[in-house]
Amino acid sequence: MAKIVNKEEKRKEIALKCKDLFLQKGMKVTVSELAKAADIGKGTTYEYFKNKEDIIFEILNILTEEFNKELFSKLKNENNTYEKLLVFFEFFYKNYEELKKIYKEFMAITLTSKNEEMRSFATKVKRFYYQILENILKEGVEKKELKKKAVKYTNALYNMAEGFFIESELTFLFEDKEKEFKKELELFYKLLKKDKK
C-alpha cells in the first residue's frame, strides 16, 4: 500500500532542509543543490515547488510564522502603546539574522524581476503587519494615550520603519541601529501622543 504524503508538510520539510544552504549561498544556489540538501531528487523538488523562488516563499513563511508567535506573545505582555510599538518594530533593528537574510533575498528578487506572485505575496504580508500596527494605534487612541488622528499615520509610521531598515542595510549611517531607531520612533510618537491637560 502506497504511503499517503501530506503535501503541505512535505513542502515545509523540504524548505527547512534547504534553509541553511540558501542562507549560505543566496540566489546563486541551484535547484540541484537544494534537492541534494533536502535528500530528494531534482524532479521531486518540482513536484512540490515551481522554482527556487517558490522555495524562498516557503522558507520565508516558516520563519515569519515563528517570528509572529514571538511577536504576539511579546505584544500581549505590553500595556503601554509606545512599548507595543517598540516590540512591533523590533524586526527592523534587532538581530533576526535568518529572517532578515531571507527577507533581503526576497526583496532583491521582487525589485529586479517584477515577479507578480512575489509582489502579491509582499502585498499580503504588508497588509497583515499594517493591520497589526493599525490596531496598536487604535488601542492607543482608545486608551487616550494617542491623539484621534494617530491611526491616519499608520502607513507613514510603517514606511518610516521599513525605510530605516533599508537605509541601515545599505549604508553606514547608523552605528547603533537600536538607539537610532528608538530616537526616530520617539520623535514620531511625540507627534501622535495625546497632550496632557
65-86: per-residue pLDDT in tens? Answer: 888 898 999 999 999 999 999 9
Share of the chain above pLDDT 90, in %: 41
Q: Which domains does the chain carry? A: 1-49 (1.10.10.60), 52-192 (1.10.357.10)
Which pLDDT belongs to residue 136?
A: 96
How far, CA to CA in Å, does 68 sit from each of 24, 29, 74, 90, 92?
24, 27, 10, 12, 14
Q: Could you say which residues of the chain have pLDDT below 50? A: none
DSSP bridge pairs for 146? 193
Q: Contact 87/123 with Cβ under 8 angstroms?
A: no
Measure the CA–CA gap between 7 and 122, rounded to whole angstroms.
23
Its pTM stands at 0.81
Measure the CA–CA gap between 125 and 128, rounded to whole angstroms.
5
